[in-house]
Structure 1
Amino acid sequence: MRVTRVGDPGAEFPVALDGDGAYDLRGLTSDITADFLAGDWAPRVRDALDAGELPGVALDGLRVGAPVVRPGKVVCIGLNYRKHAVESGADIPEEPVVFMKASNTVVGPQDTVLIPRGSERTDYEVELAVVIGRTARYLPGPDSVPRHIAGYAVANDVSERAFQLERGGQWVKGKSCETFNPLGPWLVSPDEVGDPQDLRLRLWVNGERRQDSTTADMIFDVRHIVWYLSQFMVLEPGDVISTGTPSGVAMGSPDIPYLAEGDVVELEIDRLGRQRQRVARA
């Protein structure tokens, strides 16, 4: 099952996607909120679809927003792909590297990405995003994680490397500029995704492929990440976890240019859809 939100910023409404059809979800929920995600949302949507309770809707001309309302928090995992850790000149982490990203960075999958003022090193990062569906605190082990996951989505963890690494303090400064977290196009239920450690991720800039890997290269898998985070913070429905990026980012090679005004970034993950953003200056 796939759901998303469409409409102008601040006026999005929820829809379900089934085959080639789109269906208005407002008979079930006003939006893709924490309350909607709590528990098993996908069977509720499927039952409503099968009962003919959700009217069809035409999506032509409608902007696609982020597939969930603004999350309570966005938690990110750094250096979580082996080849990316190597290209960054870092040791393989013994525990997940955790940082936070401002929740108001979340935008739609086709919205413009803005290079912040003073930036010369804005970078791209295709990532598998996990959306929490049940409150998770002190989970007993990784095997307890699946029932707490509402679904998965594509994320672009846009980063400003000088802000992140050269301005002192924590990484959050290079991660929290406006528009720095395109999310979507869909939230996909776990049953439709299957094994989250068997997904191919790709990213292109101006048609040139920059990233191409699989989630099998993760150092810490999805179950471990969610279990681990629950030992340090309470994860709530609607929270988003970005699970790290593979190799191929601009920071990883002097021959790869950073993003510039007018660039077009495209990214996709198997079974989770595709994003496309044009880059502009703030």
Structure 2
Amino acid sequence: MKIDFHTHVYPDRVALKTVSSVRERAGIDAYTDGTLEGLKRSMASAGIDLSVVAAVATKPEQVESIQRWLTAIRQPGIEALAAMHPAEPLSSEQMKMLRSEGFRGFKFHPDYQDFFADDPRMYPLYERVAAEGMFILFHGGMDRGLPHPVHATPKRLAAVHKVVPELCMIVAHLGGEEAYEETAVHLLGRNLYLDTSFVLRKMPVTFRERFLKEHPAERLVFASDSPWTDQREELQFLLQLPFLTESDKEKICFSNAARLLGLETPCRICEQIIASSCNSAPDAPNRV
């Protein structure tokens, strides 16, 4: 069984516009049409059983509608992270409710949400997330086409981990595209997760081998960043890496993500991989 821990989809009514906008801004290709059905077709081709959708609220007033949309698209084979904007953080009671509904974590993109990851004002929020037993998937490093400064450098994310070690952190893009030296110094080997999204096949081979060998296999998760890479190509590339053991590949492609999502038991896993039809929803995010 295979889990893709970091994907993006958009409502049908805005998917084409959103994908086109990101392609133009970032200068990258798209490998699906950005819709939920497009993701499901990609999963079938790739042999991926479960994809996790990550959405970012760029303004506090978007959180409610985005959360409704994320709740609506969850179905067997599709999981989602919850929405929150740090400018108006959720209360502990709201987090408890989300967790009772099956949401296990949040996606934060400090560049889009206009905060520095290690701003001390964020630490109480991080502590509340940790207290609820939830995690944060952080965008790591630069985002193509966005202006400087970079709000979530590996060094800043390492500072968060040092101050709030109880927070379960997943850092996307193996710490950050083109931030490999900084990641090696500040994040590699720490008790946090790195996901492989977007950079796996793009990063220099020496860094790729070092990262996947030196960071514990128990703290790596396979992710594609679909539609911005091809799920099938990313998964096959990872599975063919000769320096990873079969046990490593199983952890990276399945069991680590299953543990984070609370899907360790066979019945929960089976529920998630049974095919199901897509639900529609009214509002949705306009960013990756």
**TM-score range, shorter-chain basis?**
under 0.3
Which structure carries more helix by proportion? 2
More strand by share: 1
Question: Normalising to structure 1: TM-score of the pair?
Answer: 0.25
TM-score (norm 2): 0.25
